[in-house]
Structure 1
Amino acid sequence: MHTETRTTDAKARLVLPKSFANATVIVEFVSETEVRIRRAKVVAEDDLLFAEESASPLSDRDRDRFLELLAAPPAPTPALKKAAARHKARRG
């Protein structure tokens, strides 16, 4: 990774290298003394997919098993009961 030191002007402006010309950037404030500047990858809104658009359908076997579990869920295990009790205690 190449590190370069740059100085800001009186208005806190920074001149970036030519490779950043006409680019969208992400400015990350890592800490009080560290700022990270990265070139952003811009994706057209029409190219974004919803999870539903890319999900593959369940097989018949998987669908049937899912519906069986909804109709008759298994009894809770001791670990699930313990986790539920911890959750209830925190919500108090």
Structure 2
Amino acid sequence: MQTETRTTDAKARLVLPKSFANATVIVEQISETEVRVRRAKVVAEDDLPFTEEAVTPLSDRDRDHFLNLLAAPQPPPPALKAAAARHKARRG
């Protein structure tokens, strides 16, 4: 990675290297004295995947286990009951 020193003009404009020509950039202010300029990758909105497309369905075993827990939920453990009682005492 090469480091260069460049000077801004009176309007705080900076001339970037030619590799940034016609590019969209991200300007991050890291600190009061440091700014980071990075080339951004622009993706068309139509090309973004839906979250639902990335979800993997449950296996048959996991699905059955989940449905059994919904049909017959297990009682809460003592630690959860104690935490709920402490929370209720603090709130009212």
Bucket of the pairwise TM-score, normalised by the shorter protein: 0.7 to 0.9
Match of 2:48? 48
Q: Which amino acid aligns with 1:8?
A: T
Give the direction of change, closer, same or farther, for the CA distance of 1:91–1:33 in structure 2 (3 Å limit).
farther
Quote the residue 1:11 is aligned against.
11
Q: Which runs of 5+ in 2 are unaligned?
A: none
Is residue 57 from structure 1 mapped to residue 57 from structure 2 by the alignment?
A: yes
TM-score (norm: length of structure 1): 0.78
Which deviates the most, 14-23 or 60-69? 60-69
Instruction: Kindly name which structure, 1 or 2, has the bigger radius of gyration based on alpha carbons.
Output: 2
Give the match for residue 31 of structure 1.
31
SS in 2 for 1:30: strand
**Aligned equivalent of 2:72:** 72
The code of the aligned residue for 1:6 comes to: R
Unaligned runs of 5+ in 1: none
CA displacement at 1:70 relative to structure 2: 2.6
How many pairs are equivalent?
92
Distance 1:60 1:38 in 2: 46
Distance in 1 (CA, whole Å) between partners of 2:24 and 2:70 is 47
C-alpha distance in 1, partners of 2:5/2:90?
A: 48
